[in-house]
Structure 1
Amino acid sequence: MKTLTGYQPTTRAPAHKALGFLHVQTMPQNLALPQDVDWRQHTPASNFVRTQGTCGSCWAIASANALEMHAELNGLGHEGVDYQDLVSCTPNLQHCGGDGGCSGATAELAFQYAKDVGVRLYAEDAGAMGAWVGSASEACGSHPGARITTEGFVRVTPNLAQPLLQAIAMQGPVVVSVDATSWDTYGSGIFDGCSKDARVNHAVVAVGYGQSPKGKYFLIRNSWGPGWGEEGHIRVLRFEDGPGPSGAYCGTDYHPEEGVACQGETQPVRVCGMCGILMDSSYPVGVRVSSSAGKGSTAQKM
């Protein structure tokens, strides 16, 4: 699973110290939210699914997806983000989520790189964005073309459903961490096959949420190609906060060092939601698309 999923850790001290970390999300608790949200309907140019292949680049692909969709939602162009730039160039000095590159990192580090340096954009169409994992042909940050940047990122309050729902509904797509160990056999429907004691090991994008006669769910875009699941997506069973049969679904990740921790972090961590989906999530803010001259426009929420 290490090469299939990539690593994706919690945002503990090393990630919190990143300059791009703005704050833990705080919103009113009883906010009225729509019953269904699907950002794919509003981002046609970004509505494609990548294939990570044997590279543990889920963190980079998920981050690129989020950056693209946030840029498109704010009218900043339709070029795709070159996620290979993230794979090759994102620093990972604390070994959060792995050793960097195809050995894993985190969405928070990717958003920090977008803030500090900017991620280059593709000139090609979306069809060119496959599982390219070659080494960078240019020094990191030296590409003369347009780049996408951010003012930083916001971490969603962990292990609660309502804050994540609010972030998706009010801010847009959110990168989330999950236990994808048993996802390989998923074909369709609402997935409920993870135990409470999830071992979080994969980064994906929550592009919406909804409900059906069979239950409520989070709508997730994966990085295993469009032929997997529901055209590259999976619906993950969604629990509410609080007691009762539909309430909190929480357990413990007993081995964070095997997939979710920064170097030296081995203490078990609390994980909530099906497949631990509520444990670690974040989204970029202040997205800009800048020219080679460094001029760009700041994304404003619509």
Structure 2
Amino acid sequence: MKFTLSLLLPGLAAAAYRSEIIDHTDHGEEVLSARPHEYLAADDLPDAFTWGNKDGVSYLTRSVNQHIPQYCGSCWAQGSMSALADRVNIARENAGVPYTLSVQYILNHQIGGSCYGGSASGTYAAAKKAGPIPYESCFSYLACSSDSSEGFCDSVEFDESKASQTCRTCSTFGEGCTNIDKFPNVTIGEYGTVSGADNVKAEIFARGPVACGINAEPLLNYTGGVFEDDKLADKMTNHIISVVGWGSDADGQYWIVRNSWGEYWGEMGYFRLRMGDNQLGMEDGCSWATPDVFSEDNFPCFEGGENCGGSHSDDDTYSAREEEASILSGYRGVEYVDPSNNLEEVYARLN
């Protein structure tokens, strides 16, 4: 519905906010486990639930501002990677400092899009095929892609064939940077889409946050409270966010949503949106992915990376799935256990 409307009613599209969703392709799904809405009844779900405050503990990774150090329309990468990183943290039972994923790696290789937009489902599908996603310390966010000329982006070197676009370190003044070929990472196991308020709630409750499309235009000057907007024209999506849970008040339930515009915006970087009626188009198209394997230990590289550098190839990139007989013995990652295969634990949350 929303895509057809955007073609038929171009005059209603957001004028002040440039769409950061430029890919409406059906990227398919890779689903092996039962979907949460297939075994969780909507009436059994609690009136309020958020991974930002589950039994007094937050399982969420940090908020970001996608628009610094210059403007970059990377919401699709921010939303999809933050939701995936949250699911890693949930699987780790919030042990230690949460791992965040390198959005700049996603931009460097244009895995799902660029600074001019992309899609969450495309990101998950492409990342699954591309392989290990490095943790953020491999490549900090620059807000640049090879097709962007904003700010200093013209001076940034992009060469997707080089390992320096995946993980690197620069050890001292006057010396070149070293490619890191053995790095902590996350791989994707399954990915798919979910729509409808009850189905989205079940997905979040069982497995963690999801990335959803939304119309950002009405939210530009949002300053707090439960936002409500059921206008038809405002259901055309142009931005990707991550939904972390829901709450309830006298007027019904509302979504708890993390944006990627920084903590200075909204409610410390979050906003609340009235649930139902597909407000702002958010309930019509959400994407999810589950981890396959994630690193809890690293291969111990030197400060300068000399023992971990070299030309990049699929063979010498450290994957959390490396066999114990390899030189990386003892540094294997943790295999993700999908909650859909451990229903006892999921149902325990309902008690």
TM-score (norm 2): 0.64
The reply to whether residue 56 of structure 1 matches residue 73 of structure 2 is yes
The residue matched to 1:60 in structure 2 has which SS?
A: helix
The residue matched to 2:211 in structure 1 has which SS?
A: strand
Q: Is the 8 A contact 2:47 2:253 kept in 1?
A: no
Shift, 1:288, TM fit? 2.1
Measure the CA separation in 2 of the matches of 1:3 and 1:81. Answer: 26
1:58-92 deviation line (CA, Å, top 9, x unaligned): 00001111111000101186221111111221345
Question: Cα–Cα, structure 1 residues 221 and 8, in superposed 2: closer, same or farther, change >3 Å?
Answer: farther
Larger Rg: 2
- Map of 1:256 onto structure 2: none
Measure the CA separation in 1 of the matches of 2:224 and 2:49. Answer: 19
1:134-167 deviation line (CA, Å, top 9, x unaligned): 55574455752111111131211x3x21111111
Shift, 1:131, TM fit? 5.7
The residue matched to 1:182 in structure 2 has which SS?
A: helix
Bigger CA drift: 1-10 or 214-223?
Answer: 1-10
Shift, 1:107, TM fit? 1.2
Measure the CA separation in 1 of the matches of 2:246 and 2:128. Answer: 28
The reply to whether residue 112 of structure 1 matches residue 112 of structure 2 is no
Shift, 1:200, TM fit? 0.7
The residue matched to 1:40 in structure 2 has which SS?
A: coil
Bigger CA drift: 21-30 or 40-49?
Answer: 21-30
Measure the CA separation in 1 of the matches of 2:238 and 2:21. Answer: 5
The reply to whether residue 155 of structure 1 matches residue 193 of structure 2 is yes
Bigger CA drift: 168-177 or 82-91?
Answer: 82-91
Measure the CA separation in 1 of the matches of 2:104 and 2:19. Answer: 16
Gaps of 5+ in 2: 1-13, 145-152, 168-179, 299-316, 321-332, 340-344, 346-351
Matches within 5 A, 1:120-131: 120-123=134-137
Q: Is the 8 A contact 2:88 2:291 kept in 1?
A: no
1:215-257 deviation line (CA, Å, top 9, x unaligned): 3201100011101111100101112xxxxxxxxx2xxxxxxxx
Q: Is the 8 A contact 2:75 2:239 kept in 1?
A: yes
Q: Which of 193, 212, 215 is the equivalent residue of 1:179?
A: 215
Gaps of 5+ in 1: 93-99, 240-248, 250-272
Q: Comparing both chains, which one has the higher relative contact order based on Cα–Cα distances under 8 Å and sequence gaps of 6 or more?
A: 1
- Map of 1:83 onto structure 2: 103
Q: Which of 245, 257, 264 is the equivalent residue of 1:220?
A: 257
Residues matched between the structures, number: 254
Shift, 1:114, TM fit? 3.1
CA-atom RMSD in angstroms = 2.9
Q: Is the 8 A contact 1:62 1:175 kept in 2?
A: yes
Shift, 1:23, TM fit? 8.5
Q: Percent identity?
A: 22
Letter in 1 for 2:116: S
1:148-187 deviation line (CA, Å, top 9, x unaligned): 111131211x3x2111111111121011111111111111
Shift, 1:111, TM fit? 1.6
Letter in 2 for 1:80: T
Letter in 2 for 1:170: A
Matches within 5 A, 1:244-255: 249=277
- Map of 1:244 onto structure 2: none
TM-score (norm 1): 0.74
Question: Cα–Cα, structure 1 residues 60 and 280, in superposed 2: closer, same or farther, change >3 Å?
Answer: same
Measure the CA separation in 1 of the matches of 2:267 and 2:221. Answer: 12
